[in-house]
């Protein structure tokens, strides 16, 4: 009887229940962790607008509109021409021979090719994920709205409707 009274039983958390809890937390963190391998490299002559709202960025086709050219994934697609508008301030535009109304033909061709590549790869993998049509658009803050609108219209016509603007955190 005396030996039974001296025996102290510890009732608390055991190491097994702690390991279960840690495993669940680890699985949750790994599932919610998102590693973005997005590399946005701006051109030297590009000055991006500032913003305080920065949403998460997903993998997308990168379109860069600088004072000298229009690039898709780092490749020059069209040349931007700078001209004096008469009151001493410069204005930029794409060569009119490469523009059809609001559509920038070389950009449309490149984006259509890019869309065909992505859909072909999805068909090979037999993935249930549909083409999303994401574009990261980097635009110099001095670019006129007309030129930005042409780039947006062309991206939309090529099937790239989800557009995110790249900005600098203010």
- What does pLDDT average to in each consecutive run of 10 residues of the chain (170 residues)? 60 71 82 58 60 64 87 89 81 87 92 87 69 85 88 92 79
pTM for the complete prediction? 0.66
Do 151 and 72 lie in a common domain? yes
In a domain, 17, yes or no: yes
Do 89 and 18 lie in a common domain? no
Q: What is the dihedral of CA 45, 51, 57, 62, to 10 degrees?
A: -30
Do 15 and 79 lie in a common domain? no
Q: How many residues does the chain have?
A: 170
Do 27 and 58 lie in a common domain? no
pLDDT at 51: 61
pLDDT at 153: 94
Do 28 and 78 lie in a common domain? no
Do 26 and 101 lie in a common domain? no
In a domain, 155, yes or no: yes
State the residue range of the domain holding 12: 2-32
Strand 162-165 relative to strand 134-139, pairing: parallel
Do 134 and 54 lie in a common domain? yes
In a domain, 41, yes or no: no
In a domain, 40, yes or no: no
Do 58 and 97 lie in a common domain? yes
Whole-angstrom Cα distance, residue 70 to residue 138? Answer: 10
In a domain, 44, yes or no: no
pLDDT at 61: 85
Do 162 and 85 lie in a common domain? yes
pLDDT at 37: 47
pLDDT at 86: 77
Total structural domains within the chain: 2
pLDDT at 109: 94
- Three-state SS sequence of 20-53: HHHHHHHHHHHHHCCCCCCCCCCCCCCCCCEECC
């Amino acid at each position: 009887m005396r030996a039974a009274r001296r025996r102290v039983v510890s009732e608390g958390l055991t190491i097994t229940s702690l390991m279960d809890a840690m495993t669940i937390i680890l699985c949750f963190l790994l599932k919610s962790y998102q590693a973005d391998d997005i590399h946005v490299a701006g051109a030297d002559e590009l000055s991006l607008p500032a913003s305080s709202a920065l949403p998460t960025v997903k993998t997308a086709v990168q379109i860069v509109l600088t004072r000298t050219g229009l690039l898709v994934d780092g490749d020059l697609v069209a040349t931007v021409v700078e001209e004096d508008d008469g009151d001493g301030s410069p204005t930029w535009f794409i060569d009119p021979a490469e523009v059809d109304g609001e559509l920038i033909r070389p950009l449309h061709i490149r984006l259509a090719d890019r869309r065909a590549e992505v859909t072909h790869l999805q068909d090979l993998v037999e993935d249930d994920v549909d083409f999303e049509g994401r574009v990261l658009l980097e635009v110099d803050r001095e670019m006129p709205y007309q030129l930005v609108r042409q780039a947006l219209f062309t991206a939309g016509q090529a099937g790239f409707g989800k557009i995110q603007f790249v900005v600098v955190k203010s």
